[in-house]
Amino acid sequence: MLSPQSHPLIEATLPLVGERLPAIATGFYARMFTAHPELFDGLFSRSNQKSGVQQQALAGSIAAFAAHLVKDPTSAPEIMLSRIAHKHVSLGILPEQYDVVYTYLFESIAAELSDVITAEIADAWTEVYWLMAHALIKQERGLYAAAASDKPLAPWTVTHREPAGSDAVTFTLVPSDDTPASASRPGQYVGVTVRMPDGIRQVRQYSLSAGTGTTTRVFTVKLDNDGEVSPVLHRDVQVGDQLTLSNPCGDITLSTGNGPLVLASAGIGCTPLASILRSLVETGSDRKVLVLHAESTIERWALREQMRADVAILETAELELWLEAPSALDTAHDGFMSLDSVTIPDDASVYLCGPLPFMRAMRAQALASGVPAARIHYEVFGPDLWLASA
């Protein structure tokens, strides 16, 4: 709850702070990594720092949280915080690390707002930070407590690797030791830690593309030549190698009940939805399922065989495909996905995963077709800013 004395100060300074947040975030990371370069080892992504994605995510999260508190001082944006908490758990973030963030974040705030900041303004923004931090710590503590082990990370051994489409690889792993493993839920992801050629460990989150038990983890990795982790996975990781995995994370999971489902994906965004589809097969579900997928070419569809086979098994499932470069061997719509010609079943829950422009367009079209916002679920692995005004 934002205090009455802080509310008018945050409301008055939010536009200015929002304008300068990108510079504040950049200064924060520069200060923190200068003092603690070890945080790059197994925690922060160097490629996200280089591209500016991490700075954008931090700035957007703080601004969105503060704006929500101004609008409703008695509550917190639980959906946004839940996504951040799950991401933090996939990295093994601990409560004491929030103190480190606070120190360097507020050094950067003081520097960037030196022309306007007062003790009262600093106190108000300190309150916002700790409201957000304590809410996240509480959620993260619950996620850690619910896991099968008190170890947030554990070693897993690669037992299979096979091509998935023209530019992806599917890895299957089993536990390397007796650390208890948590079962995953359809749609979740794991943090995968990989040692880089220079010895630094880097982490990337990958959706589990099949399986929900405790004995195997299956994830599919698309090659990203601008990243660090996927090239190493594609080039170097072989059967018999060990990787460090987090517990399954992510709150965009299959809803209970018997209502119809729409699973709409683009590109490698098919992975969490393929997991949901596979779980429906494994449980013998009779839910009506409409699977929609968009791809540049049929060859790039990473989980083509798995998803088509699962649709064929489910008597109540249908598949529609969109291809930017049509194939003579496949019946597909030309170009980008559109819901204009799709009949969404009444009371359907819609799941989206893919590039942000794709999800933005699909969400808008689903809303226009009458699907309530509460029944539209989406997985985001970058800055979740595009729904701020929705």
Q: Provide the annotated active-site residues.
A: 98, 140
Taking every pair of C-alpha atoms in the chain, what is the biggest distance, in angstroms? 68
Rounded-to-integer distance, Cα 299 and Cα 166, Å:
6
Any idea how long the chain is?
Answer: 390
Would strands 217-222 and 168-175 be described as parallel, antiparallel, or unpaired? Answer: antiparallel
User: Contact 143/90 with Cβ under 8 angstroms?
Assistant: no
What DSSP designation does 38 have? G
Rounded-to-integer distance, Cα 31 and Cα 162, Å:
42
> Among 356, 351, 346, 339, which residue's Cα sits nearest to residue 376?
351
Show the CA angle centred on residue 191, arms to residues 189 and 194, nearest 5°. 140
Count of alpha carbons within 13 angstroms of residue 278, beta-carbon side:
23
Rounded-to-integer distance, Cα 1 and Cα 11, Å:
14
Rounded-to-integer distance, Cα 25 and Cα 28, Å:
5
User: Contact 295/326 with Cβ under 8 angstroms?
Assistant: no
